[in-house]
Amino acid sequence: MKKFLLLQKSILAVVAFAVAAGIWLPSVHLLFKPNLDRYVSGEGISPKARALAARHLALWSDPELRAGEIAKMRQNNAEWDFMARTFFVLALGNMALREPEARDQYLEIMDAIIDETIRLEEANGAHYFLMAYAKYGHFRSSDGRSLFVDSEIALMLAVRRLVEEKEAYKPLLAERVEAMVVYMQESPVLSGESYPDEAWMFCNTTALVAIRIADVLDGTDHSDFIDRWLEVAKRELVDPETGLLVSSFTFAGRPKDGPEGSSIWMVAHNLLLVDRAFAEDQYRRAKDALSASILGFGYAREWPATWAGPMDVDSGPIVPVLEISAGSSGMALIAASAFGDRTYLSSLLTSLNFGGFPIEKDGQLRYAASNQVGDAVMLYAMVLGPAWAEVERRGGGSW
Q: Which residues contact another protein (rule: CB under 8 A)?
A: 8-9, 12-13, 15-17, 19-21, 23-25, 28, 31, 72-73, 75-77, 313, 316-317, 326, 354-355, 357, 359, 368-371, 374
CB of 354 to another protein, least distance (A): 7
Query: First CA to last CA across the chain, in angstroms?
Result: 79
- Closest contact distance (angstroms) between CB of 144 and another protein is 29
Q: How far is the CB of 370 from another protein (least distance, A)?
A: 5
Tell me how far, at minimum, the Cβ of 87 lies from another protein, in Å. Answer: 14
Shorter beta-carbon distance to another protein: residue 70 or 118: 70
Name which of 83 and 272 has its Cβ closer to another protein. Answer: 83
- What are the CB-based long-range contacts (under 8 Å, 24+) for 84-88? 84/371, 84/372, 84/373, 84/376, 85/113, 85/117, 85/152, 85/156, 86/152, 86/155, 86/156, 86/376, 87/373, 87/376, 87/377, 87/379, 87/380, 88/56, 88/60, 88/113, 88/376, 88/379, 88/380
Residue nearer to another protein on the CB measure, 46 or 372:
372
Task: Write the Ramachandran bin of 41: left for phi over 0, alpha for psi from -120 to 50, otherwise beta.
Answer: beta
Is the Cβ of residue 16 or residue 277 nearer to another protein in the bound state? 16
In the complex with another protein, the residue whose CB is nearer, 1 or 368, is 368
CB of 232 to another protein, least distance (A): 34
Give the nearer residue to another protein in terms of CB position, either 94 or 353: 353
> What is the closest distance, in whole angstroms, from the C-beta atom of residue 151 to another protein in the complex?
24
Cβ–Cβ < 8 Å for 247, 258: yes
